[in-house]
């Protein structure tokens, strides 16, 4: 067995032992840049536009806002139109955007989007840590996963396509920057290098 395969197996076993969702090998990280990103959201041909914009504060606490759109024909509609893809949190709260924020020392909130071609879907993973004593403090990171879901039945109140809450768990260690937690705990690199912080 190759060393890399052994480490991957140990990593996945550790994730399962801690109750973390197993990240399938076929998931593909969608890299994002500042501006409009044309992407295959589900890895199986679903064209989407992900808009990433920076909100300057003229200090170390500027933040980045991301919105996700797709051209869809919803149940009962005659034609396709550009639709926002919201995030449905546990308890029903709906977010129309994602926010990446922190300070000069560390990022306190960020996310990754992974295409799931095998299931014609996508996985959104968010990471957030409490402020603690300062932006440079180390705290456990809370991860949440959301599955791209189609409202094929036309259920009133639900979007045509949305990210539905699946699971929440805490990191095994404490971190200053949630991107360090993404790398160390899930093996996910920073998919937004060009966004800037």
Q: What is the pLDDT of residues 16-66, one digit of tens each?
A: 445 455 577 789 999 999 999 999 999 889 999 999 998 877 766 778 999
Q: Where are the domains of the chain?
A: 23-186
Give the pLDDT of residue 21: 53
pLDDT at position 193: 44
| Residues 163/148, Cβ–Cβ less than 8 Å | yes
> What is the C-alpha separation between 77 and 73, in angstroms, rounded?
6
- Give the 3-state secondary structure of residue 4: helix
Tell me whether strands 161-175 and 87-88 are parallel, antiparallel or unpaired. parallel
Rounded to an integer, what distance in angstroms lies between the CA atom of residue 154 and that of residue 195?
Answer: 35
Residue 146 confidence (pLDDT): 97
Q: What is the pLDDT of residues 172-197, one digit of tens each?
A: 999 999 999 999 999 988 766 433 33
């Amino acid at each position: 067995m190759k060393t890399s395969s052994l480490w991957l197996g140990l990593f996945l076993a550790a994730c399962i032992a801690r109750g973390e969702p197993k990240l399938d090998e076929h998931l593909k990280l969608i890299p994002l840049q500042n501006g409009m990103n044309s992407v295959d959201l589900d890895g199986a041909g679903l064209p989407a536009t992900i808009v990433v914009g920076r909100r300057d504060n003229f200090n170390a606490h500027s933040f980045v806002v991301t919105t996700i759109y797709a051209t869809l024909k919803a149940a009962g509609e005659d034609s396709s139109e550009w639709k926002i893809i919201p995030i449905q949190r546990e308890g029903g709260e709906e977010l129309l955007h994602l926010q990446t924020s922190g300070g000069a020392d560390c990022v306190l909130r960020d996310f990754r989007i992974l295409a799931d071609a095998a299931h014609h879907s996508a996985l959104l993973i968010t990471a957030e840590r409490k402020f603690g004593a300062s932006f440079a403090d180390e705290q456990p990171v809370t991860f949440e996963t959301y599955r791209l879901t189609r409202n094929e039945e036309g259920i009133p109140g639900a979007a045509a396509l949305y990210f539905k809450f699946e699971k929440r768990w805490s990191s095994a260690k404490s971190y200053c920057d949630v991107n360090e937690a993404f790398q160390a705990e899930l093996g996910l690199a920073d998919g937004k290098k060009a966004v800037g912080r």
